[in-house]
Amino acid sequence: MEAATTLLDAEAVGDLVLLDPLTEESLLCTLQERFRRSNIYTYIGDVVISVNPYRPLPIYTPEKVQEYNNCNFFAVKPHIYAIADDAYRSLRDRDRDQCILITGESGAGKTEASKLVMSYVAAVCSKGEEVDKVKEQLLQSNPVLEAFGNAKTIRNDNSSRFGKYMDVEFDFKGEPLGGVISNYLLEKSRIVRHTKGERNFHIFYQLLAGGSAQLLQQLKLRQGSQHYGYLNREKSSLPGMDDAANFRAMQDAMAVIGFSPTEVTALLEVTAVVLKLGNVELSSCYQASGMEACSIAEPRELHEICELIKLDPGTLEQALCSRTVKARDETVLTALSVPQGYYCRDALAKNIYSRLFDWLVNRINTSIQVKPGKQRKVMGVLDIYGFEIFQDNGFEQFIINYCNEKLQQIFILMTLKEEQEEYVREGIQWTPVEFFDNGIICDLIENSKCGILAMLDEECLRPGVVNEDTFVTKLNQLFATHKHYESKETQNAKHVTDLSLPQRCFRIHHYAGKVTYNVTGFIEKNNDLLFRDLSQAMWAAQHTLLRSLFPEGDPQKVSLKLPPTAGFQFKNSVATLMKNLYSKNPNYIRCIKPNDTKTAMLFTPELVLAQIRYLGLMENVRVRRAGYAFRQLYNPFLQRYKMLGTKTWPRWSGSDREGTEVLLSELKFPPEELAYGYTKIFIRSPRTLFDLEKRRQERISELATLIQKMFRGWRCRTQYQLMRKSQIIISAWFRGHAQKNKYKQMKRSALLLQAYARGWKSRRLLRELKVQRHRHLAASTISAYWKGYKVRRMYRRYFRSGASTRLANFIYRRLVQKFLVGLQKNLPPMSVQDRTWPPAPYKFLVGANQELKNIFYHWKCKKYRDQLTPQRKALLQAKLCASELFKDKKTLYSKSLQQPFQGEYLGLTQNPKYQKLHAVAKDKLVMAESVMKVNRANGKTVPRLLLLTTEHLVLADPKAAQPKTVLSLSDIRGISVTRFSDGLLALHLKETSTAGNKGDLLLVSSHLIELITRLHQTLMAATSQALALHITDQFSTRFQKGDMAITVVESAKGSNDDVPVCKKRGSHKMEVLVH
Q: Is the peptide bond before 21 cis (omega within 30 degrees of 0)?
A: yes
Burial of 371 (0-12, 13-18, 19+ CB in 10 A): exposed
Please give the helix or strand (H or E) that residue 160 lies within, else none.
strand 159-160
Degrees to nearest 5, angle at CA 471 with 320 and 351: 30
Q: Are 247 and 206 in contact (CB under 8 A)?
A: yes
Q: Of the candidates 163, 59, 202, which has an alpha carbon nearest to the alpha carbon of residue 119?
A: 59
Work out the angle between the directed axes of helices 313-321 and 532-540 (0-180°, nearest 10): 170
Q: Of the candidates 277, 270, 352, 354, which has an alpha carbon nearest to the alpha carbon of residue 543?
A: 270
Instruction: Please enumerate in sequence order all residues whose Cβ is within 8 A of that of 692, keeping only pairs 6 or more positions apart, or say none.
Output: 641, 644, 667, 683
Q: Which residues are catalytic?
A: 106-107, 111, 156, 159-160, 386, 388
Q: Are 1009 and 922 in contact (CB under 8 A)?
A: no
DSSP label of 950 = S
- Taking only Cα atoms into account, the Rg of the chain, rounded to an integer number of angstroms, comes to 48
Q: Of the candidates 420, 410, 414, which has an alpha carbon nearest to the alpha carbon of residue 627?
A: 420
989 φ, ψ (degrees, to nearest 5): -110, 150
Please give the helix or strand (H or E) that residue 1005 lies within, else none.
strand 1001-1005
3 state SS of 783: helix
Q: How far apart are CA 864 and CA 876, in angstroms?
A: 12
Q: How far apart are CA 339 and CA 325, in angstroms?
A: 18
3 state SS of 146: helix
Instruction: Please enumerate in sequence order all residues whose Cβ is within 8 A of that of 553, keeping only pairs 6 or more positions apart, or say none.
Output: 532, 535, 536, 537, 538, 539, 540, 547
Q: How far apart are CA 130 and CA 122, in angstroms?
A: 13
Q: Of the candidates 525, 527, 267, which has an alpha carbon nearest to the alpha carbon of residue 393?
A: 525
Could you count the other beta carbons within 10 Å of the beta carbon of residue 66? 12
Amino acid (1-letter code) at residue 593: K
- The DSSP-derived string for 678-722 is SSEEEE--HHHHHHHHHHHHHHHHHHHHHHHHHHHHHHHHHHHHH
Could you count the other beta carbons within 10 Å of the beta carbon of residue 881? 16
Q: How far apart are CA 513 and CA 390, in angstroms?
A: 12
Strands, sheet with 680-683, edge to edge from the N-terminal-most edge strand: 630-633, 680-683, 674-676
Q: Of the candidates 849, 859, 787, which has an alpha carbon nearest to the alpha carbon of residue 815?
A: 849
